[in-house]
Amino acid sequence: MPTKTLRLILGDQLNHKHSWWEDDPSTFEVLMCECRSETDYARHHIQKVTAFFLAMRHFADWLRGEKGITVHYLRLDDADNKQSITANVEVQLRRGSYHAWAYQLPDEYRLDRALAEFAVKANHSHSTADTEHFLAKRYALRDFFKGKKTYLMEAFYRHMRKEYGILMAGSEPVQGKWNFDHQNRKSLPEGERVPRPMGFERNVEGVVAMIEKAGVKTMGSIDASRFIWPVTREEGLALLDHFAEAHLQKFGPYQDAMKRNEWSMWHSRLSFAINAKLLDPLEVIKRVEHAWQEHPDAAPIASVEGFIRQILGWREYMRGVYWAKMPEYAGMNYFGHERKLPEWYWTGDTKMECMKQAVGQSLEHAYAHHIQRLMVTGNFALLAGIHPDEVDAWYLGVYIDAIEWVEITNTRGMSQYADGGIVGTKPYVSSANYIDKMSDYCGSCFYSKSKKTGDKACPFNSLYWHFYERHRDKLEKNPRIGFVYPTLNKMKPDAREELMAQAEKYLGDLDGL
């Protein structure tokens, strides 16, 4: 009589603290698999595929070594790998002696559906478990905003602060404020030294060779002799400590600053470790809150609150939006944008210095920080009217931390406003002014930041006004868009026509920029 359960673990379910691992190891076995279904649903960065496979392998070793659990681990090149998660579960269920199987609820809609459909067809009974990772339940945000058109992140964030007692003094926020952002988001002063990113030097040539031999189509580059991303829980914790001790002080003030050839500034680069669930979001939040409690000079409240808001606020919020709005969300295209992504998003080969920097480092490191994603690459895609499907495919592939629940809500929602204002109250777009204020990119650019029209005029300038002009019907009445339409209306007709013609010229040859 079979007595064991087969438990499936997906590549982003590497939660060491899950209650499953406290159960008697003689009562269950674990299945983990590296599959083509996962490497091929998007064209991923080579560092992303490598990081997931390595993290999975280390996790399987931990389950075996620390917990005494039997793990069936299928590598991508194993002969009996069926290359699909459900097919591998089916084979293992037939092969072993199990009375049931179980899985943790996936964070991605595609896998959630696939596993639910498979469960109906499978001959074994099944059960599901929570991943025990997020701080809000899957549908908590939907219920919180029931009946509302816009989901205001700030309201949800305050609710989460109270619920978890983070940065609270009784029922009030510490120091009487929910938000200290007026002290943050500064541009970088001349001479400020940017820290070197901390890395974990690991030789990953074997895994990379396996991925290449299998013919997986990837993008970007990798230095396989010294792979720097954290792929174990210990490494994730070490990176967290390093951030809390060495980066936190300046994280807030320079959170939005950008500098040529500096790819991570004071950002934590914890997103992969958190999204793979090697780190628990609450432990990250508490570590940073503790740093402030112990050493408020080295970890000032503005930085600490700003960082905690990203995880307790934005991250939980984005996941909630995803589950409240999928699957419709993936098809939203509010502006009806149709253009293809320019070729240089895949090569970095453009004359626009800001794009060359942001795209270039994304391809080199599988990473760009938030403002580069939002106000450089995302800003350009929105101004240029790129189809959100194209934009999503790029973001989902290129970043080490990209998993659909957090990628699509940030890209289609926050960055492309393709959801018509569920996530953001207005589109995040800017001309060269903002990029110049927050970076040193414009100084080395082929284009002139101050020119709107004519030879070498910065493309962001004319495209910015063209964007607002072509979407007048959708945006003119938005109260958050203050000066734009009065300024457009006051422009002399000749000047406006010249500006629109300049934008049309650029739109006609995006690949040539």
Residues numbered 245 to 284 that lie near ligand FAD (CB under 6 A) are 267-271, 274-275
DSSP 452: S
* Least distance from ligand SF4 to the Cβ atom of residue 458, Å: 3
Residue number, 334 or 428, with CB nearest to ligand SF4 = 428
Q: In b/e form, how buried is each residue of 66-89, taking b as 16+ CB within 10 angstroms? A: eeebebbbbebeeeebbbbbbebb
Residue number, 53 or 447, with CB nearest to ligand SF4 = 447
Q: Which position among 310, 350, 357, 462 is part of the footprint of ligand FAD (CB under 6 A)?
A: 310
Q: Is 352 an interacting residue with respect to ligand SF4 (CB under 6 A)? A: yes
**DSSP symbols for 182-231:** GGS-PPPPTTPPPPPPP---B--HHHHHHHHHTT---BS---TTSB-S--
Distance, in Å, from the CA atom of 221 to the CA atom of 361, rounded to the nearest integer, reads 10
Residue number, 73 or 314, with CB nearest to ligand FAD = 314
Which residues are CB-neighbours of 481 under 8 A, at least 6 positions away? 426, 468, 475
* Least distance from ligand FAD to the Cβ atom of residue 443, Å: 24
Question: Taking Cα atoms as reference points, which of 87, 350, 363 lies closest to residue 222?
Answer: 363
Q: Which position among 402, 458, 499, 513 is part of the footprint of ligand FAD (CB under 6 A)?
A: 402
Question: How many residues belong to the site for ligand SF4 (CB under 6 A)?
Answer: 14
Cis amide leading into 327 (omega within 30)? yes
Residue number, 330 or 488, with CB nearest to ligand FAD = 330
Q: Which position among 366, 414, 445, 510 is part of the footprint of ligand FAD (CB under 6 A)?
A: 414
Q: Is 394 an interacting residue with respect to ligand FAD (CB under 6 A)? A: no
**DSSP symbols for 108-144:** SHHHHHHHHHHHHHSSSEEEEE--S--SS-TTHHHHH
Q: Which position among 82, 369, 449, 452 is part of the footprint of ligand FAD (CB under 6 A)?
A: 369
**DSSP symbols for 232-276:** SHHHHHHHHHHIIIIIHHHHTTTTT--BTTBSSTT----HHHHHT
**Residue 435 near which of ligand SF4, ligand FAD, none (CB within 5-8 Å, type-dependent):** ligand SF4
The contact mask relative to ligand SF4 for 427-446 (x = CB under 6 A, - = no) is -----x--xx----xx--x-
**Residue 373 near which of ligand FAD, ligand SF4, none (CB within 5-8 Å, type-dependent):** ligand FAD
Residue number, 305 or 353, with CB nearest to ligand SF4 = 353
Which residues are CB-neighbours of 133 under 8 A, at least 6 positions away? 15, 277, 280, 281
Question: Looking at 53-61, 306-314, 334-342, 358-366, which segment touches ligand FAD (CB under 6 A)?
Answer: 306-314
* Least distance from ligand SF4 to the Cβ atom of residue 252, Å: 25
The contact mask relative to ligand FAD for 37-76 (x = CB under 6 A, - = no) is ----------------------------------------
Q: Both tokens of residue 296?
A: 């408020």
**HSE-up of residue 259 (Cα within 13 Å, Cβ side):** 18
Q: At how many degrees (to 10) do helices 85-95 and 109-121 cross?
A: 30
Distance, in Å, from the CA atom of 407 to the CA atom of 414, rounded to the nearest integer, reads 10
Residues of this chain that interact with ligand FAD (CB under 6 A) are 267-271, 274-275, 307, 310-311, 314-315, 318, 369-370, 373-374, 378, 395, 399, 401-402, 406-407, 410-411, 414-415
